[in-house]
Chains A and B, each alone.
Chain A
Amino acid sequence: MKKIVDFFSSLRLAIFLFLALATTSILGTILPQGKEPGFYFAKYGSFWGKIINFFQLYDAYHSWWYIALLSVFLLNLIFCSAKRFPVSLGLYRRDPWSIDPEKLPMRKEIITSKSPEELKSSLEKEFDIKALKEGFLGVKDRFRWSYFSVYFVHGSILVIVIGALIGAIYGYRGYMNILEGEKSNKVFPFQKKGYISLPFYIKLDKFEIEFYPNGMPKDYRSHVTVIDGNQSFNYLIRVNHPLEYKKIRFYQSSYQEYAAIKIRVEIGNKSKDLVIKPFRDGSWEEEDLTIGLIQYGEAHGFRMAKVWITKEGHEPQMIWLIEGHRQELSFSPHKISLSMLEAKPIFMTGLQVRKDPGAILVWIGFLLMILGIFAAFFFTHRVIWVYIRPHEKGSRVIVGGYSKRYREDLKKQIERFVNKYLIDLT
C-alpha cells in the first residue's frame, strides 16, 4: 500500500506524465481524426491500420490509453498535493520569532556608530520589533500565504476536469437547420443518432449576409423569434453573439442558399404551375409527376435551379432550369416542357446548439488557475531578520533572511538593505 501511495505521489511520475502527455498528444494532430476504420486501413496499410484501430487513434483524445494517462495524471496531482500540504502548513505556521538571532540564515554582520535605539526607530516603519534580553530583534515577514497558492492551481485543474465531465455527461452539442419563415425545435446531436426536442421553438424570420467591398464576408445574421408557449421574443444571432435561452446556447455556424421556385409544366396542351420549396416537392397528381429542388444558384445575373423530375413508370431525370427560359425533356412517349417563372431565394441558417451545465465550473476553474499561477510565480514567502545589539562603538547588527525561492534575489535585497540603513549611518 505504501509503495502504491509513494508511486502516485512522486514528482518523478509527474514529470514523466507531463512529458508523456506532451508526446502522445502529437498523434491526434498528425493522424486525421474521426474517420471510419476502413479509411485508416486504406491509407496506412493493414499493419498500421490494426494498430490505429487498437489504440483508437482515430479519436486519440478519447481513447482508452489517453483517458488512462489523464486519470493517472489527476491521481498524481491529488496525491502530490495531499502529501505536500502538511509540509506547507508547517512552513506557514513556523514562528519567525523563535529563531536564534545569532544564527540567522544568510547572515551578514555590521558594526555601526548609531545607538540601538536610533536604529530601532528608523526601522520601525518596515519591521515588527521586539525587545530581547539584550538589544532588539526586528522581523519583516511577507507573503506567508504564498505557501497555499500552488494548491489553488492544482485545485483549479480538478475543478476544470469536473466541469468538463459534467458537460460531457449531462450536456450535448448538435445542430439545428431552419429555413426562412419556418420554425424548429429539433436538435440533431453530433455524437448520437436521432434528435432532441426542445421545449420551445426557434423561428427564423430572416437571414442576411454582408460582404466587405473586397468580397470577404463581414457578417452573418439570423433574425430569430424564440417561441415558448404563449411567450415570444426576437433575437439577432451573429457569429460571436450567440443566443442563450433556458441554459441552451445557439451559435451562428453556417448557412445555405435555397429558393422557392415556380415552374410551369406543359404536357401536350395541358399545363400546370407548380410551386417547389426546399424539401417540399411539387406534384401534379393527374399526370403522376413530381418535381423536387436539388440546387439553386445565381450566375451572371441569371437565376438557375437544378431539379429532379419523376413520372410514374419512368427513370427520374435531372435538369438545369434558367429563369424565363423553356426547357424540353422527354419521358417517352410524352414530351414535357418546363419553364421557371419565378425564383425567390430562401436562406437556411445552420445553428450550432449546445447545452453545457458544466461550463460554469470550467470558467471558475480558469479564474482560479490564472489567480493561482500569478500568486504562485510572483509571490514567495520571504523573511528578513535584523538583530541589533549594543556595541562599544554603537551597535552590532546582524541581518539574515529566508526565502522559499529566489534566494539570489533575497541576498541582493539584504545587501541593499544593509547599504540603505546601515552603511549610510556609519
Chain B
Amino acid sequence: MRIKEIAGGLLGALLIYLLLAAKNHTVLVSHAYLLSLVTFIYLAAAAGYLLHWIFKWEGMGLASSAIAWAGILLHTAGWGIRWWESHELGYGHIPLSNLYESLIFFAWAVMAVYLFLELKLRRKALGAFVAPVASLIMAYASFGTSTEIEPLVPALQSNWLTAHVITCFLGYGAFAVAFGLGLVYLFRPRTVAPSSIWQYLPEQETLDNLMYKIILFGFFWLTVGIITGAVWADQAWGSYWSWDPKETWSLITWFIYAAAIHARITRGWTGKRMAFLSVVGFGAVLFTYFGVNFWLSGLHSYASS
C-alpha cells in the first residue's frame, strides 16, 4: 500500500479544511468555495505530476500523489457539505441532480478511478494526463454553471436517481481514464530510448492491458447505468425505452465499447485499434453527456442547466 501518499493527503486536506474553517469562523465551509479550491488543488497535482514525469523526479511524484489525495478528500467533503446544505434549505437531496452536481461527481469519479489505478500500478506519470482533465471539469463546473442548490422537480424525486447517476458516472469516469491511456498509447513511440521521457510511462503491453480492464469496468457500470435508467423511466414516464436522444446516445456508447470488448476477447485486437476505439468511445461518452443536453432536446433536459 502507498500509505505515505494517502496519509500525506489526509493531513493536507485536514490542514486546509481547518484553516478555511478558522478563517471563516465556521465548522462547515461553504461547498462552492471548497469545490472551487479543489480545482486548483488538482491543477497543482497536475503540475507536480508533469514535473515528476519530465524531470524523473521521484520526490515530486510522491508529493503530487499526496496533493491529489488531499484534493479528492476535500472534494468528497465539499460534496457532502452540499448535501448537508440542501437539507438545511428544506429540500434535501443527494447532489446528483443538475449539470453542476453531475460535473462535480464526474470529476470525482475520474480522480477516484485514477487514484485506484495508481495504487495498483505503482507509477505516477499518468497523473500528468488525468489530473488536468479533472481540474478542467471542476473549473467548468465552478465557473461555467449555476452552483445554486435547487429543489428536485417531481420527476427526479426517486431513489433511482442515486443509483442511476452514480453508476453512469462511474462508467464515464472509467472511460475518461481509458481515453487518457489510449492517447498515451497512440503517442508513445514503439521503441523508447532509455533517456526518453516516455520511459517513465508504462510500456505498450501494460497500457493495453490496463486500458482493456478499465474499459470492462466502465462497460459494467454503463450497463448498470442504462438499466437503472430504463427501470426508472418505466416508473416515472411509463416506458422503459423511448428512444430519447440521451437513451439512444448511451446505447451508441454501449455499442462502441461492446465492439471494442468483443474485438479484443476473440480476435486479439490489441494495441492501436483498441486505443483508437477507446478514444472514439470517449467521444460518444462526451456527446451523451454534453452534446445531447446542448444540441438535442428530450426528456433529460434538467441536466442542462
Q: Identify the A interface with B (CB < 8 A).
A: 11-12, 14-15, 18-19, 21-22, 25-26, 28-30, 33, 61, 164, 173, 212, 214, 216-220, 238-240, 242, 249, 251-253, 352-354, 359, 362-363, 366, 369-370, 373-374, 377-378, 405-406, 408
Contacts and interface: CB of A to CB of B under 8 A. Distances in A.
A377 B219 contact: yes
Contact of B150 (A21, A216, A366): A216
A126 B267 CA distance: 34
B238 A22 contact: no
B16 interface: no
A369 B227 contact: yes
25 contacts: A11-B266, A15-B263, A15-B267, A18-B259, A22-B259, A25-B251, A25-B255, A29-B248, A164-B241, A173-B238, A173-B239, A212-B151, A216-B151, A217-B153, A240-B155, A240-B236, A252-B154, A362-B240, A363-B231, A366-B230, A366-B231, A369-B227, A370-B223, A377-B217, A377-B220
Contacts of A218: 91, 151, 154
B122 to A, nearest CB: 12
Interface string B224-253: 100100110011111111010100110110
B240 A359 contact: yes
A239 B259 contact: no
B158 interface: yes
A354 B158 CA distance: 20
A28 B247 CA distance: 12
A423 B275 CA distance: 39
Contacts of A22: 252, 255-256, 259, 284
Contact of B153 (A28, A29, A216): A216
B247 to A, nearest CB: 9
B256 A18 contact: yes
B130 interface: no
B2 interface: no
A11 B230 contact: no
Interface in B280-294: 284, 292
Interface string B197-222: 00000000110010001001101100
Contacts of A173: 238-239
The 7 closest A-B pairs by CB, nearest first: A18-B259, A239-B154, A22-B255, A251-B238, A29-B245, A377-B216, A352-B238
B126 to A, nearest CB: 17
B262 interface: yes
Contacts of B219: 373, 377
B296 interface: yes
Contacts of B157: 219, 239-240
Given A25-B252, A240-B236, A253-B237, 8 more contacts: A11-B266, A19-B255, A19-B259, A249-B238, A352-B237, A363-B231, A373-B220, A408-B205
A61 B151 contact: no
A28 B205 CA distance: 39
B237 A251 contact: yes
B258 interface: yes
Contacts of B267: 11-12, 15
B276 to A, nearest CB: 12
Contact of B243 (A61, A212, A238, A369): A61
Contacts of A30: 296
B207 to A, nearest CB: 12
A354 B238 CA distance: 7
